Amino acid sequence: MNKSDLVEAIANGSGLSKADAGRALEATTGAITSALASGDSVGITGFGSFLVRQRAARTGRNPQTGAIIQISASRVAAFKAGKSLKDSVN
């Protein structure tokens, strides 16, 4: 499912127009993005949590040359599925 399919599913499920569903999706993803950028987590009960994880600095290898390189520490966005979502998938 891509973004346009998701917008269509939201529109069909909520009775909104596709344009309104698209704006709602954009507002939702924008709110999640800004919360994660500021270091907060976002939890949706029954669905899951979006959070920021710290990735430690490590050594890696350039696949083309085989040279050892240093990969700096970074923050990455992560999603942890909630119990209801896990149960639905299984």
What pLDDT score does 22 carry? 95
What pLDDT score does 65 carry? 94
**What is the domain-level CATH number for residue 34?**
4.10.520.10
Q: Which domain holds residue 59?
A: 3-89
What pLDDT score does 78 carry? 97
The pTM of the whole model exceeds 0.85:
no
Residue whose pair of structure tokens reads 């998701």 in the numeric block: 6
77 neighbors 61 (Cβ within 8 angstroms): no
**pLDDT tens across the length of the chain (90 residues):** 999 999 999 999 999 999 999 999 999 999 999 999 999 999 999 899 999 999 999 999 999 999 999 999 999 999 999 999 999 999
What pLDDT score does 27 carry? 97
What pLDDT score does 2 carry? 96
Query: Alpha-carbon distance 29 to 27, whole Å?
Result: 6
Query: Alpha-carbon distance 14 to 10, whole Å?
Result: 6
What pLDDT score does 47 carry? 94
Q: How many domains does the chain have?
A: 1
